[in-house]
Amino acid sequence: MSLRKQWRPLERSTVGRAPDAYGLYELGDSDGTSLGFGIGVLRDELKEALAYGEPAGFEPTSTEGAGEPTQVRWERATSKAHAERLLDEHC
C-alpha cells in the first residue's frame, strides 16, 4: 500500500528539506509508480537514493519494468522501531 502523501521530486533541494530523523520512504518513477519502500534516517537514505538510485536497505516492490527513482514521499517516525512498524504496515 502506497503512502498517502504527494510525490516530491527526488532532487537535492528535496533531500535537503528531508528530516534528519528516522522514517519510512517510498521511491517512485516518473509515472508515479511505486518502486518500493525503505526505512532509515530520511536525509541519509535520500542522499544515497539520489546518488546511487537505490539505498542499501531499500525493498523494491517489483523488479519487472522498474524505472529509475525520480520521486519520493515519506512519513517521519519517532524511532527506528516505529519506522519498522510503518514498513510492516505498508509492505
In tens, the pLDDT along 40-83 reads: 999 999 999 999 887 877 888 866 656 789 999 999 999 999 99
Q: The domain spanning residue 54 has which CATH number?
A: 3.40.1440.10
Question: In this structure, is residue 3 part of a structural domain?
Answer: no
Q: What is the pTM of this model?
A: 0.91
Q: Which residues contact 10 (CB under 8 A, 6 or more apart)?
A: 27, 46, 49, 50, 69, 70, 71, 72
Cell of 13: 533541494
Quick check: is 1 in a domain? no
Cβ atoms within 10 Å of 8's Cβ, excluding its own: 17
Identify the pLDDT of residue 60. Answer: 86
Q: How far apart are CA 7 and CA 71, in angstroms?
A: 6
2 occurs within a structural domain:
no
The domain tally of the chain equals 1
CA separation (Å) from 38 to 22, 53, 67, 78? 11, 13, 17, 15
User: Residue 76: which domain range?
Assistant: 8-90
